[in-house]
Structure 1
Amino acid sequence: MSRLNAKGRDINGVVLLDKDIGLSSNAALQKVKRLFFAKKAGHTGSLDPLASGILPICLGQATKVAQFLLDDDKRYFVRGKLGENTDTLDCEGEVIQTQGYKHLSESAIKKAIMSFVGDILQIPPMYSALKKDGQPLYKLARQGIEIERPARPVTIHNIDFISYEDGILTLDVSCSKGTYIRSLIQGIGDQLGCGAHVIELRRTGFAHIDISETIKFSELEALASDDYQQLDAHIFPSENMLPTIESVTLDEKQAEDIRFGRAVFGNRQGSLHKVKLFDQNQVFLGIGELSEDGMIQPKRLFV
């Protein structure tokens, strides 16, 4: 049961939003926050305004699990246009270079694509939310300022070639966190010697989440009512968003200690790793860290 006051409702959990094209991630977040009249909200895994697809909106204490969701893999449907490089690496930017592409065969294109599968180094685009001295890179880029960005290791798990027609390349990409699909498409174009930029991007997978599990904002709006019951039915428990993290059930004394920030002995040993903590009544307490000596340190608590 959520609590209601003038500043909003104390509700906890995750809304799996299918973000529409044209909205920034923050704009989408604010719309959902207002609709649910949530006291606190945040999103994880930003999407460009050009992109649509899965954007987890964390309400209340669920904002504490956002960082753990960010560590997981992603999947994207993407269409790229060969023959043109843009300053933003997508169709919202200015074309800065054009080169011929009609001589390219499908087999040559597929070969170039497959050379990007595996562990690669990728230079983040200037038009990104990464920060330099506290300033987002995209703000510097809009001022005509370009700074050196070190290449970062990312992993492209798989690229499914869907189609190629009239210079338009369509792919399905599975990748690690931190991967920029715009940089990937430009990289493929540059390797082919013709350049390329993104014209359509949709996030279809996020950790264990599939696009089929999401809901559009227009659908949420249709469920709005004074009692919020139909809206709240689309809030997933925070712990359900972390299926790959081991669960540990604590007894009453251990749960009390954890709530006060004290470490407890977990009656198990192994390598250092994160665990989901539940009390004796299976109430989710938050995230802990299990050390090799069996001690559980509280890290992010929901209390």
Structure 2
Amino acid sequence: MLKPPYDFEAGAILLIDKPLTWTSFDVVKKTKFALRIKKIGHAGTLDPLASGLLILCTGKFTKRIEEIQAQEKEYTGHFTLGHTTHSFDLETEIDSTSPTDHITENMIIAAAQSFEGEIEQVPPIYSAVKVNGERAYKLARKGQDAEIKAKRITIKKFEITGIEGNIVSFRVVCSKGTYIRSLARDLGEKLGCGAYLSKLVRTRIGDYHLDQAMSLDQIQELREKIMAHHEGNSGA
């Protein structure tokens, strides 16, 4: 937790536990307003349907955003096997269903391990990747298809942490630019049954961990501490 003098213009790094359904911009906007910060930005977008660690940089520390974004990331979550969606997550409806009874734990583990290392990955159509100058997700929401080029990424670790029915729990350690939704799609294709991302939590960026992060309620509590600190100094 931050300590006085709370100089956000000089620069601070705020670790926030982004709640489900909030956009990264929503969190930046709320924090900026609550703490009266003039200059603030986030280091790495989280989708509204993902939760977990969002790093905000203020004042002069906004210069460090690219440096932080480039660091290794860790995620946990769930894949749902046997179904696919156009967005590879819960944003869109299920559009195909396949049987999964024949798929064993060993098959799932082996498929996951096959993605470890440096690989080519095609980002999802529902992403901020630009196609001919326009964001891919905007084209997708208009019902338009777009050809998105594969990008080279690194999956350091793809661990299967649990399997319950067709719900697969995972932990992924990866490089910047990795789309876990695309990993869900690719795992489903590898297993021949399809899959989509049904839960995602970002737990780490570099040396910054989710268990160090503040909730949005704690942001408001910090605002109250700052006000009390300033009032105490003005009355001294």
Report the alpha carbon displacement of residue 135 of structure 1 after superposing the two structures with TM. 2.1
Question: Aligned partners of 1:88, 1:115: CA distance in 2, in Å?
Answer: 23
Which residue of structure 2 lines up, in the alignment, with residue 276 of structure 1?
none
8 Å contact 1:79–1:171 — kept in the other structure?
Answer: yes
Matched, 1:74 2:111: no
1:18-97 equivalences under 5 Å are 18-97=17-96
The DSSP-based 3-state class of the residue aligned with 1:223 is: helix
Larger radius of gyration: 1
8 Å contact 2:113–2:159 — kept in the other structure?
Answer: no
Count how many residue pairs are aligned between Structure 1 and Structure 2. 226
Report the alpha carbon displacement of residue 185 of structure 1 after superposing the two structures with TM. 1.2
Question: Aligned partners of 1:177, 1:68: CA distance in 2, in Å?
Answer: 11
8 Å contact 1:205–1:211 — kept in the other structure?
Answer: yes
The DSSP-based 3-state class of the residue aligned with 2:92 is: coil
Report the alpha carbon displacement of residue 148 of structure 1 after superposing the two structures with TM. 0.8
Amino acid at match of 1:205: R
Larger RCO: 1 or 2 (CA < 8 Å, sep 6+):
2
Cα separation, partners in 2 of 1:207 and 1:56, compared to 1, 3 Å: same
8 Å contact 1:11–1:39 — kept in the other structure?
Answer: no
Report the alpha carbon displacement of residue 52 of structure 1 after superposing the two structures with TM. 0.6
8 Å contact 1:85–1:98 — kept in the other structure?
Answer: yes
8 Å contact 1:131–1:137 — kept in the other structure?
Answer: yes
8 Å contact 2:6–2:226 — kept in the other structure?
Answer: no
Matched, 1:142 2:146: no
Which moves more between the two structures, 210-219 or 130-139? 130-139
- TM-score scaled by structure 1? 0.71
Matched, 1:168 2:170: no
Which residue of structure 1 lines up, in the alignment, with residue 113 of structure 2?
114
Amino acid at match of 1:159: F
8 Å contact 2:125–2:140 — kept in the other structure?
Answer: yes
- TM-score scaled by structure 2? 0.91
Amino acid at match of 1:172: R
Report the alpha carbon displacement of residue 160 of structure 1 after superposing the two structures with TM. 1.9
Question: Aligned partners of 2:180, 2:70: CA distance in 1, in Å?
Answer: 17
Cα separation, partners in 2 of 1:229 and 1:201, compared to 1, 3 Å: farther
Unaligned runs of 5+ in 1: 4-8, 231-303
The DSSP-based 3-state class of the residue aligned with 1:58 is: strand
Question: Aligned partners of 1:223, 1:29: CA distance in 2, in Å?
Answer: 15
The DSSP-based 3-state class of the residue aligned with 1:10 is: coil
Could you say what the CA RMSD is over the residues aligned between the two structures, in angstroms?
1.8
Report the alpha carbon displacement of residue 222 of structure 1 after superposing the two structures with TM. 2.6
Cα separation, partners in 2 of 1:2 and 1:216, compared to 1, 3 Å: closer
Runs of 4 or more above 4 Å deviation: none
What per-residue deviation string (whole Å, max 9, x for no partner) do you get for residues 132-162 of structure 1? 3432111111001121111111110012221
1:234-249 equivalences under 5 Å are none
Question: Aligned partners of 2:157, 2:73: CA distance in 1, in Å?
Answer: 11
Unaligned runs of 5+ in 2: 230-236
Which residue of structure 2 lines up, in the alignment, with residue 189 of structure 1?
188
Amino acid at match of 2:131: K
The DSSP-based 3-state class of the residue aligned with 1:27 is: helix
8 Å contact 2:84–2:194 — kept in the other structure?
Answer: yes
